[in-house]
Structure 1
């Protein structure tokens, strides 16, 4: 089998490498021979490094490198069984390449595009035989990200997708079959995490650091959304979000944020520029901003009690937690005037509404997050709109004496982790409902490509559909 690869950027090089390492002959094309030679040298160095690390033996390395052939003449692709285009994300350029390829390749050659954001159907429209055109979307870095989206255009025939799935498995990647919709599967679903986090930030619910730490610690995401923006590059994330938003005809679920736009204008693009949402040193390491803490020793003569009320299914758990950390409980049906009210809102509710519903003083009220075993990971307290500083300082003192990690956030309909998880799960449900991809593939793709600890539909089943709806 011979596979042609057009474009020797980061993606093209990675695709060529995994093909050659899998014993497939690769014909690499670029009209600039200097770029072509540089790209091939890079690929061969990567293969040599694998050999040096003992990941592959010397014979395998030499065999893989011998399968890489270069050309500056597209007509050399006449014998290819598959051609993968991996050039710049420009529809006109891609269409022109496919138009030229169709005059060169054999009748049963598959034409695939590695586009991440453009319509496969639009690219295929340049061809006389659009039925053999499909998306074959890899993720960066290709040798490490063992997943690839097989994108079916409107005219793509079944045999094309079947063959691409087979090739994906040969090179050690998991194929995910998806329809040709904006963002396909992964980039479509990936919008939910960052978009809701930006909404939370814009509402003043919490600062960047607290949003990141809450989602890392209470939901087990590998990175917080703002850390992820900085890693990916805001100049990559924001245009992708804008593209998906416009392709879905301004569906408000995908609405971009002015926050990213302002950072783009300021050229604060993330790690690559030394500053995005965070600052980075010359080695690319995040500079940790020391957070102000309020240590207050408790006056034993004026010890406060804590009254707990709200969601009955979690009240006893919160009482046990307070007892465990040395807090004194107010066991009355209603709180005494001197007690702090620890509220346990129902899912999706805010602290202020909960205090009004329970008939307690909102100035002395603070809500605590009980969802998804948050107490065992990172304590999150939510103020009402009028919670006094003294109320917060007393609770902070108690938590600090127990050396517990915590975040204080402002009032919000639902805590941060509830909001973000609900957005991710609902977006996944919409993708499944529209038959963009199967529920099994949705969960698999998200874990492999985005590194989520669970698939969104797995999460939905764990938490219960009624809870997510609520």
Structure 2
């Protein structure tokens, strides 16, 4: 299995298959593009030519490189022609039975040294390889859309995939200018598993009427540093696609509650409101989200006379401006017998706040005035435990730690996967270390007490890291 990869076969000429074929061909590989539909292949090759010629027109690619890349791709309708391939990448329908039948055929057609891989995003590599001759050569090679642009590729091991195959695939991916990460075959692999809370917490906030969708997205984007808000992103991905992945992960984990799908998202799917591709999802398209209503500028007479700053609390006369620890503002105000304004984590120009129900307006506006003087746009939402950014980040950290503890992937690969696969501002494990494991643990424990749900249960590795952190501090 150590022979060099010279010829690559790609099965499926849809968006992903055509994109993968382009990646391999532009890296100098001979490519056999197979589809049961000759017309689909013709459309795919025509679209590929148009994309490459557009790059030539923009000065991003030479005419010679364009023509040479296209010449390396040969369309084949006979599956038997793939016997010449050193590497097969299947990018067909996301259906286990279809994939198993196809891989059984490939194992008969291709010699034992041919590497057989699937671009699946959710189906078990172990299940695909079951019953296939020489299953040790079967692996996952999960590209992200659009494949020519996205740097990340998940190299996925089934139970019997050989280490030699993983090494060879990783070297191939690197030669194509991509960044491989290695993981075990587990529901969602790295990215689609660890990313679930990013969507789930946004849907929960929307269902509980914490804020309008555009406010939720603004909070995660402008305060959290994420490249796009989760609700807008589901519209872009397609509500049907995102919901199907969530359901797949939920069912594969035996209905683990932290992966619970959203009834509101299901309603959108049932209504055919699938997002950008249908013109309506969470938002109408192409207009997208409405303008966000920030808190008006507070007049200077609300300025506090006495200001004291500690780590997570600013005291403004009798008002406490606190960074959330998972409590609601009202719970903190009741406990401390003071007016409380609860503040979310902010890494940008926007800060999300919630206020205790008993606050006087002048007390609340002392805190808002102070925040506005720090250059922040203030987004007021309902009194919600953990607010929007902090609870989302804490859940991402927890999920990443759970994946690490269960041997899904290394710490480095988990961080790399989330930065490159979904463009998070930091890897979740690096984020957890920066924020402090004890703070993440405390917030999740508070959320779990508030809701009485398993959804917010901290994983045992988080507890271990929090204990180590406290022992270092002492």
String of CA shifts for 1:356-397, please: whole Å, max 9, x gaps: 22123xxxx34132645x5x6223221224446676578668
Conserved? CA contact 1:294–1:397, under 8 Å = no
1:352 aligns with 2:330: yes
Alignment of 1:372-451 (within 5 A): 377-387=349-359, 404-451=376-423
Distance 1:292 1:467 in 2: 28
Conserved? CA contact 2:235–2:275, under 8 Å = yes
Count of residue correspondences: 437
Equivalence for 1:157: 162
With over 3 angstroms needed to count, the CA separation of the structure-2 counterparts of 1:22 and 1:404, relative to structure 1, is closer
Conserved? CA contact 1:151–1:180, under 8 Å = yes
String of CA shifts for 1:137-194, please: whole Å, max 9, x gaps: 1011000001111110011111111111111011111111010000011111111211
- Measured after TM superposition, the shift of residue 58 of structure 1 is 2.2
String of CA shifts for 1:97-119, please: whole Å, max 9, x gaps: 11111111111001111111111
Distance 2:240 2:190 in 1: 21
Alignment of 1:59-70 (within 5 A): 59-70=64-75
1:30 aligns with 2:38: no
- Measured after TM superposition, the shift of residue 304 of structure 1 is 7.9
Equivalence for 2:234: 229
Equivalence for 1:9: 14
Q: Which has the larger radius of gyration?
A: 1
String of CA shifts for 1:62-88, please: whole Å, max 9, x gaps: 221111111111111112111111111
Equivalent residue for 1:459, pick from 423, 431, 440: 431
Distance 2:205 2:384 in 1: 8
Distance 1:370 1:290 in 2: 17
Conserved? CA contact 2:214–2:292, under 8 Å = no
1:238 aligns with 2:243: yes
- Measured after TM superposition, the shift of residue 345 of structure 1 is 5.3
Distance 2:38 2:331 in 1: 67
Distance 1:142 1:429 in 2: 28
Equivalent residue for 1:314, pick from 307, 312, 315: 312
Equivalence for 1:139: 144
1:58 aligns with 2:67: no
Equivalence for 2:341: 367
Equivalent residue for 1:218, pick from 215, 220, 223: 223
So what's the TM-score if we normalise by structure 1?
0.86
With over 3 angstroms needed to count, the CA separation of the structure-2 counterparts of 1:229 and 1:307, relative to structure 1, is farther
Conserved? CA contact 2:112–2:134, under 8 Å = no
Distance 2:171 2:327 in 1: 48
Conserved? CA contact 1:19–1:171, under 8 Å = yes
Q: Higher mean Cα deviation, 431-440 or 270-279?
A: 270-279
So what's the TM-score if we normalise by structure 2?
0.86
Q: Higher mean Cα deviation, 382-391 or 212-221?
A: 382-391
Equivalence for 2:453: none
SS of the residue corresponding to residue 393 of structure 2 reads helix
Distance 1:441 1:382 in 2: 36
Distance 1:6 1:287 in 2: 38
Distance 2:65 2:28 in 1: 9
Q: Higher mean Cα deviation, 392-401 or 77-86?
A: 392-401
Conserved? CA contact 1:230–1:278, under 8 Å = yes
Equivalence for 1:94: 99
With over 3 angstroms needed to count, the CA separation of the structure-2 counterparts of 1:6 and 1:352, relative to structure 1, is same
Alignment of 1:280-319 (within 5 A): 280=285, 284-289=286-291, 291=293, 312-315=310-313, 318=314
Conserved? CA contact 1:352–1:411, under 8 Å = yes
- Measured after TM superposition, the shift of residue 33 of structure 1 is 1.4
Distance 1:462 1:399 in 2: 23
- Measured after TM superposition, the shift of residue 126 of structure 1 is 3.8
- Measured after TM superposition, the shift of residue 213 of structure 1 is 1.2
Which ranges of structure 1 fall in alignment gaps of 5 or more residues?
320-328, 336-340
Equivalence for 1:173: 178
Distance 1:306 1:419 in 2: 32
Distance 1:410 1:200 in 2: 10
Q: Higher mean Cα deviation, 156-165 or 393-402?
A: 393-402
With over 3 angstroms needed to count, the CA separation of the structure-2 counterparts of 1:395 and 1:111, relative to structure 1, is same
Conserved? CA contact 1:96–1:126, under 8 Å = no
SS of the residue corresponding to residue 211 of structure 2 reads coil
Conserved? CA contact 2:294–2:380, under 8 Å = no
Equivalence for 2:441: 469
Distance 1:42 1:343 in 2: 55
SS of the residue corresponding to residue 13 of structure 1 reads helix
